């Protein structure tokens, strides 16, 4: 079996315990009181070591596989982009769990999604695009890659938080809480978290657009404004800015805001991973 495939399968298996922990309900709260945090004590157990051990395994597995994508330069093929995105998302998630109960309670949604991305990276490795960018010799390349994956990771967490708030609001409207909704953050907390992450995404994406234009000048001696990746990234920037402005000035929130946040995430996914999927898998 190929060494890279072995590492990928090992990293995927490392994500599964945290996925199971989220569904079983071992999510420790900083309050230490499920009732005070609006949780159902019957379905959500406060047991810290299981949560942290599983999360540490997932993070180390993703970091191990993601770091391999940067050895010898950034090839930018689909599998590498997926693993680096998974690792970056987990880094930000773990950092957020230190200070936010709402972030911790996103585990039942976040981990299955990241595990699905990891499975996609294994099943659709794609073909190298031939352009290997050195992250050691060119600081612009390193900065652009860092900003790009950070933007996608931030917006991933924002979209997951928005989707969680959407599910909570729907359960409240129907007056039928589900097993999943009882594990997620309260609707208000999830929405607040999603907008905080969205503001961070907009800021970093703005920097990413600037570094991307600079990188075009450096590599191609021209600014490519009409390629799919750039157009979709600008569309994402506009959508996020519109959602933030509407939330601030006219109070857009709830399921309408969640739909627009998910739409922004779809645009960024098409621009970041979708373009790589077409180049690596459909048109090798």
Mean pLDDT of 191-199: 95
Q: What pLDDT was estimated at residue 79?
A: 86
pLDDT at 281 over 80: no
pLDDT at 38 over 50: no
Least confident of 39-48, 73-82, 124-133, 236-245: 39-48
pLDDT tens, residue by residue, 6-37: 888 999 999 999 999 887 766 666 554 544 44
User: Taking all residues of the chain, what is their mean pLDDT, rounded to a whole number?
Assistant: 83
For residue 195, the tally of other CB atoms under 10 A from its CB is: 21
Residue with tokens 């997620």: 184
Q: What pLDDT was estimated at residue 168?
A: 92
CA 176 to CA 190: how far, in whole Å?
18
Q: What pLDDT was estimated at residue 46?
A: 47
Mean pLDDT of 149-155: 95
How big is the CA angle at 44 (ends 42 and 50), to the nearest 5 degrees? 130
pLDDT tens, residue by residue, 202-247: 999 999 888 877 776 766 666 666 677 888 989 999 999 999 999 9
3-class state of residue 246 by DSSP: helix
Whole-model pTM: value is 0.88
pLDDT at 117 over 50: yes
How big is the CA angle at 254 (ends 39 and 154), to the nearest 5 degrees? 80
């Amino acid at each position: 079996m190929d060494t890279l495939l072995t590492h990928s399968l090992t990293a995927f298996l490392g994500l599964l315990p945290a996925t199971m922990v989220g569904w079983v309900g071992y999510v420790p709260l900083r309050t230490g009181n499920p009732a005070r945090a609006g949780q159902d004590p019957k379905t959500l157990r406060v047991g810290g070591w299981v949560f942290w051990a599983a999360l540490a395994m997932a993070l180390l597995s993703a970091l191990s596989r993601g770091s391999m994508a940067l050895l010898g330069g950034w090839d930018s093929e689909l599998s590498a982009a997926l693993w680096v995105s998974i690792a970056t998302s987990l880094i930000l998630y773990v950092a957020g769990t230190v200070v936010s109960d709402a972030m911790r309670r996103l585990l039942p949604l976040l981990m299955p999604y990241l595990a699905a991305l990891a499975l996609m990276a294994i099943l659709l490795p794609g073909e190298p695009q031939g352009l290997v960018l050195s992250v050691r010799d060119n600081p612009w390349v390193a900065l652009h890659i860092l900003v790009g994956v950070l933007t996608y990771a931030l917006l991933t967490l924002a979209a997951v938080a928005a989707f969680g708030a959407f599910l909570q609001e729907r359960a409240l409207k129907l007056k039928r809480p589900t097993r999943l909704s009882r594990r997620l953050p309260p609707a208000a907390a999830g929405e607040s978290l999603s907008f905080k992450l969205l503001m961070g995404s907009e800021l970093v994406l703005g920097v990413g657009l600037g570094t991307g234009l600079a990188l075009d000048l450096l590599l191609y001696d021209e600014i490519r404004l009409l390629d799919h990746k750039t157009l979709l990234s600008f569309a994402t920037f506009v959508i996020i800015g519109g959602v933030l402005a509407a939330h601030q000035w006219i109070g857009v929130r709830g399921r309408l805001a969640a739909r627009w946040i998910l739409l922004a995430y779809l645009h960024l996914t098409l621009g970041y991973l979708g373009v790589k999927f077409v180049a690596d898998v459909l048109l090798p």
